[in-house]
Amino acid sequence: MNSWKKKLLSQGGKEILLKAVSMAMHVYTMSCFKLPNKLSKEVTSILANYWWREAEGENKMHWCSWSKLTKKKKWGGLEFKALQKFNKALLAKQVWRLISSPNLLVSKVLRAKYFYRESIFKCKIPKNASWIWQSIMGVRDFVEKGTRKRMGNGKATKIWEDNWILENSKVKVTFGRPQHSTLMMVDELIGGFRWKKPIVLRTFNQMDAKRILEIPISISERDNCNYWIHSENGIHIVKSSYKELCKWSIDQWERRGAKGETSLLNSCWKT
């Protein structure tokens, strides 16, 4: 980046160069590994220095922090990538591939080594696990919170453990399994392509029973599939993960009132 001719570029040109080239250079690495915090900060510092520095070998003042430049344009930012959040979003894609495409070679290898007898969301992390696996495990809780089971025949869904109720707030049954119940899998609650209403009402409390009976059941006997709640089509994409990871900081920014926002900025950038 130090060899790039900054004098020949406008601010708009530098913005495109940073987004299209500089931030794309490390995407492959971040898709496999979690970058150490120190390294992320160093890379961010290089990007920020390139953005603010105009003359060769001369450090210019940074008029605002990089975190503000990563915000949406409607809040006065330039939508540069927040490196650590982008890293997590890319790793989240790998978790999604493992649960949605179990027949891939990499899925079979990792399953055989790390979570052969249990779900990827419940398995323990061995002390000698590779850095790739440790990186992936660092975002599995985030993926689990955003993943739901879309009901098919119910044979692969555990009643008391899996997220199979399609609601954003309460995705599992609110109480544990009753002592007298031997039910384990969701397909035990289904018969003749409909819910076994007497069993559901007898086993679950009123709120859980109502939520379960409202879930549509497939009549094609297809297997259950995973559903990503942060995208319209239910398929995980990196953009949706990154947006969700940034949501908390955006909400914080909005709660502070975005004092510097003007009506002109509102009309130009809000989408």
Please give the structure tokens belonging to residue 64. Answer: 């605002």
**Rounded Cα gap, residues 119 and 211, in angstroms:** 24
Give pLDDT < 50 ranges for the chain.
Answer: 168, 258-265, 267, 271
Measuring CA to CA, how many Å separate 181 from each of 49, 159, 161, 200?
A: 63, 11, 15, 11
pLDDT of residue 264: 43
* Sign, Cα dihedral of 137, 141, 146, 152: positive
For the chain, the domains span: 6-83+243-269, 88-145, 152-213
Q: Strand 225-228 to strand 194-195: parallel, antiparallel, or no bridges (unpaired)?
A: unpaired
Q: What pLDDT sits at residue 261?
A: 47
d(CA 204, CA 200): 6
Distance between CA atoms of 159 and 177, rounded to whole angstroms? 9
pLDDT at 54: 59
d(CA 241, CA 57): 38
- Mark residue 231 as left, alpha or beta (left: phi above 0; alpha: psi -120 to 50; beta: remaining): beta
Return the closest-CA partner of residue 84 out of 130, 140, 135: 135
Alpha carbon of 189 to those of 37, 205, 217: distances in Å? 47, 15, 11
pLDDT one-digit tens code per residue, 81-118: 889 999 999 999 999 999 888 889 999 999 999 998 88
The single-letter DSSP state of residue 55 is: S
pTM of the predicted model as reported, rounded to 2 decimal places: 0.75
